[in-house]
Amino acid sequence: MAGIEQLPPDQRAVLQLLLKQGRSYDDLSSVLRMDAEAVRDRAHLALEALGPDTDLSEDRLDEVADYLLGQQPASARAQTREYLAGSATGRAWARVVAGELRPVAPEGDLPEIPADGEEVEEAFDALEARRERRQDVERSSKLGGILLLAGLGVALAVVVVLLIGGGGDDGDGDEGNGGQAPPTQAEEEPQIVAQIELLPPDGGESPVAVAQLLAADQGLSIRIVAQGLEPVDEDRVYALWLLNGEDDAQLLGFPEGQPTEEQPLLAAQDPLPPDVGEFESLVITDEPRTEVAEETPSSPGEIVLEGDLQQEQPPGGGGGEEPPAQGEQPRG
């Protein structure tokens, strides 16, 4: 397994042009004066060199390589996400390669590699464990305050040693690092912190959607998959809103993965604003395409799906439930 700096110059140059400048294989074919398929072959050979040994077929490697390099249309991206969500071998190879590519991509921005249900449950378990550790630290801090106010010099000395020296142990093992939870694997990638069902406002059974709130160092984002929506056409397009009522709404955007006859799922992943906690609902609306083309809407159109942002999560976080289509995940 090689690093990017160890790749042949032609392969390294192709990767840098694809990732840093967002070029396509066809774009580079004219720049480099070679066939687009030859550009693709060099990019794929580079990714195979960066990745670990694997039992994946050549076709699968080509598919995942195109996905990581952003060289697939929307329908193909959805199929690759579905494959990765169901294949531990595919995810493992893709994650190693993505780790090698991230320093080359602007701000480390690469397509998301979806998690399966088991990984989602592990993320919720890690989140709950950190919450419990924080509570233990808070209780320990309150006890230290009581001892300080009581003027117990010996106890005060012990607290000072624990807090400053970092060598003590009050039973929860966290005082040595100032009460911060030790880093876990779940913190290195976006972590699912809540899952929300979106249902029709009239109480019908279709369409339906699942939204997952993701936490990462860059902040919160939301990932949505919906099925049963009418395909978009020249008159209709779907939008995502945060809502407190018609007079207090904020447009999140228009999902890239709009439902069509060939690809009936709506798929989206968008960053959330810092004030997301002030909103009660997340909604998907049916917007007139002509009006959207003329001016960005300031209020929601017809609401076709809605979900409560403040809803309680079931024990275990609810993260083990699959989205409407197995593994179908929005763009990363």
Amino acid letter at 325?
A
**304 pLDDT tier (thresholds 50, 70, 90):** very high
Measure the CA–CA gap between 1 and 18, rounded to whole angstroms: 21
The answer to whether residues 276 and 314 belong to one domain is: yes
Measure the CA–CA gap between 144 and 141, rounded to whole angstroms: 5
Q: What is the pLDDT of residues 60-113, one digit of tens each?
A: 999 999 999 999 998 899 999 999 988 999 999 999 999 899 888 876 678 888
The answer to whether residues 238 and 173 belong to one domain is: no
- Res 311 pLDDT > 70: no
Measure the CA–CA gap between 281 and 84, rounded to whole angstroms: 30
Count CA within 13 A, CB hemisphere, residue 126.
Answer: 20
Q: What is the mean pLDDT of the chain?
A: 76
The answer to whether residues 254 and 204 belong to one domain is: yes
Residues 6+ apart with CB under 8 A from 158: 168
Beta bridge partners of 251: 241
What CATH number does the domain containing 252 carry?
2.60.40
Token pair of 261 as six digits = 């006859």
Domain with 178, as residue range(s), is 117-185
The answer to whether residues 158 and 195 belong to one domain is: no
Neighbour-count burial of 142, counting CB atoms closer than 10 A to its CB (0-12 exposed, 13-18 middle, 19+ buried): exposed
The answer to whether residues 298 and 228 belong to one domain is: yes
Mean pLDDT, rounded, for 192-204: 85
Q: Does residue 286 sit within a domain?
A: yes
The answer to whether residues 256 and 158 belong to one domain is: no
The answer to whether residues 204 and 176 belong to one domain is: no
Measure the CA–CA gap between 191 and 26, rounded to whole angstroms: 35
Q: Does residue 174 sit within a domain?
A: yes
Q: Does residue 272 sit within a domain?
A: yes
Q: Does residue 33 sit within a domain?
A: yes
Q: Does residue 332 sit within a domain?
A: no
Q: Does residue 327 sit within a domain?
A: no
The answer to whether residues 52 and 121 belong to one domain is: no
Domain count, the chain: 3
Neighbour-count burial of 35, counting CB atoms closer than 10 A to its CB (0-12 exposed, 13-18 middle, 19+ buried): exposed
The answer to whether residues 199 and 310 belong to one domain is: yes
The reported pLDDT for the residue numbered 186 is 42
Measure the CA–CA gap between 210 and 85, rounded to whole angstroms: 16
Mean pLDDT, rounded, for 307-328: 51
Radius of gyration of the chain (CA): 24
The answer to whether residues 135 and 24 belong to one domain is: no
Measure the CA–CA gap between 207 and 304, rounded to whole angstroms: 8
Among 76, 108, 140, the domain boundary falls at: 108
Among 128, 159, 185, the domain boundary falls at: 185
Q: What is the pLDDT of residues 321-330, one digit of tens each?
A: 444 443 444 4
Question: CA angle, 49 as apex, 91 and 53 as ends, to 5°?
Answer: 50
86: nearest Cα among 39, 119, 123: 119
Query: Using an 8 Å Cβ cutoff, are 53 and 242 in contact?
Result: no
Among 141, 164, 185, the domain boundary falls at: 185
The answer to whether residues 303 and 198 belong to one domain is: yes
Helix/strand/coil for 36: helix
How distant, in Å, are the alpha carbons of 20, 24, 104, 293 from that of 48?
A: 19, 19, 16, 42
Token pair of 153 as six digits = 């010099």
Q: Does residue 229 sit within a domain?
A: yes
- Res 53 pLDDT > 60: yes
Q: Does residue 20 sit within a domain?
A: yes
The answer to whether residues 138 and 233 belong to one domain is: no
Measure the CA–CA gap between 201 and 94, rounded to whole angstroms: 39
Measure the CA–CA gap between 111 and 190, rounded to whole angstroms: 12
pTM for this model (two decimals): 0.41
